[in-house]
Amino acid sequence: MGNASNTSSMFASTISKEHDIMMGSLYSVFCILSFVGNCLLLLVAYHKRSSLKPAEFFIINLSISDLGMTLTLFPLAIPSALSHRWLFGDITCQLYAMCGVLFGLCSLTNITALSFVCCLKVCFPNCGNKFSSSHARLLVAGVWCYASVFALGPLAQWGHYSAEPYGTACCIDWHAPNHQLSALSYIVCLFVFCYALPCTIIFFSYVFILLTVRGSRQAVQQHVSPQTKTTNAHALIAKMSIAVCIGFLGAWTPYAAVAIWAALGDATRVPPAAFALAAIFAKSSTLYNPMVFLLCKPNFRECLYKDTTMLRQRIYRGSPQLQEYFGLNSQRNKDTDASTRFSNGQQENYGAFLNCAENTALCQVPEPQKTACILTGSTSTEVTVSPLSANPQLNFL
């Protein structure tokens, strides 16, 4: 009975119901946008799979980890937040926390690998050009193994998973380091190898990239090197990768700061609302990757446009009502294109006669007024002439 009571109190929300409802509503928006965006990105990547570049494997892997977080966390977090307590028991809590750590660390390690590969491509092209698709696949597998070590650690009693301080979700037990040495060592290793080290690699990678791109631009401006396309491509790679990293690190840094505050200090003094707000920022990280690459990467954007065009055509072919509507619009466009323009700048539309067999009302179009210019000395006079005859050559004669 005592254990049941402790579990019940552990999974009860410690923030106000209004804040829980706001959190559940935000999670619902994040879930929809993340699911749609990452699915679109994976669809585009699937359609252009034969032409994928090695660096784009990390974009796809990042989208997979974001989609995994979306499908495993949001369906449990949303109803719990709206119900003002965790609804799914202790075992599901452990699995929820493991998935959150696994996919979160995978995303962070993945953008670290992406920044490193971009640095090789831009700053050290002799080495970067040797980086192939097989190397990218091996590095992606290494990313998942690296994240799995820290995600499975608490299940092997290195650290602990428990309910979040605000009660409606689960993650690492941030109170355990205050009284357990193994839990403290896990938190320290997690912070050093899964936050500080990746951030350092990302920072120096993009510093080198920015310096290299800046030097290339100066060389182009001084006409030392004509490779403007290469310089522009390097600049685009740098901008998109930096945008993803800033978005991801901006989302996870508040949670890392609050977690270290709780782990190395007195966890009871950390307000539950601070963890709740940090968790909202952390879960928004699943939105940035598809937004950046679908909107800013030209070949992804072009492929997405082709996919949506093909989808519209399939919907149009499968719906008679849409066929009739779009058929009428396309016929009107053809009629407009078939019109002729006379010397007085007025437009005469002959396209209306194309449907005479179907609708006689369309044939009742007044005959156009023709004008001609008569030159008399140094002045010209514009007069109206009779309508076109059946044989246009007679009028010209």
Convert the pLDDT of each residue in 249-301 to its tens digit: 888 889 888 888 888 777 788 888 899 999 999 989 888 878 777 776 666 66
Please check the confidence at residue 231 and state whether its pLDDT lies above 80.
Answer: no
Give residue-wise pLDDT tens across range 146-186.
Answer: 999 999 999 998 988 999 889 899 999 888 877 788 888 99
In this prediction, residue 51 has a pLDDT band, given cuts at 50, 70 and 90, of confident
Please check the confidence at residue 94 and state whether its pLDDT lies above 90.
Answer: yes
Give residue-wise pLDDT tens across range 173-229.
Answer: 888 877 788 888 998 899 899 989 998 998 898 888 888 877 766 665 555 454 555
The pLDDT score that the predictor gives to residue 41 is 87
The pLDDT score that the predictor gives to residue 396 is 30
Residue 371: which H helix or E strand, with range?
strand 370-376
> Buried b vs exposed e over 178-189: b needs ≥16 C-beta within 10 Å?
beeeebbebbee
Task: Give the tokens for residue 317.
Answer: 């072919």
8 A C-beta contact, residue 24 and residue 81: yes
Please check the confidence at residue 313 and state whether its pLDDT lies above 90.
Answer: no
Longest dimension (CA), the chain: 115
Q: Return phi, psi of residue 170, to 5°.
A: -130, 150
Q: Name the more confident of 203 and 7.
A: 203
Burial of residue 15 (CB within 10 Å: 0-12, 13-18, 19+) is: buried
Please check the confidence at residue 324 and state whether its pLDDT lies above 60.
Answer: no
Burial of residue 93 (CB within 10 Å: 0-12, 13-18, 19+) is: buried
Number of residues written out for the chain:
397
Please check the confidence at residue 120 and state whether its pLDDT lies above 70.
Answer: yes
The mean predicted confidence, pLDDT, of the chain is 76
Going by C-alpha positions, the residue among 311, 316, 344, 343 that lies closest to residue 330 is: 316
Q: Return phi, psi of residue 319, to 5°.
A: -120, 115
Residue at 170: amino acid letter: C
Task: Give the tokens for residue 80.
Answer: 């719990």
pTM above 0.75, yes or no: no
Please check the confidence at residue 125 and state whether its pLDDT lies above 60.
Answer: yes
The pLDDT score that the predictor gives to residue 349 is 43
Neighbouring residues of 180: CB distance < 8 A, sequence distance ≥ 6:
160
The pLDDT score that the predictor gives to residue 397 is 29
Give me the CATH topology for the region 2-310. Answer: Rhopdopsin 7-helix transmembrane proteins (1.20.1070)
Average pLDDT over residues 34-57: 86
Q: What does R_g of the chain's alpha carbons equal in angstroms?
A: 32
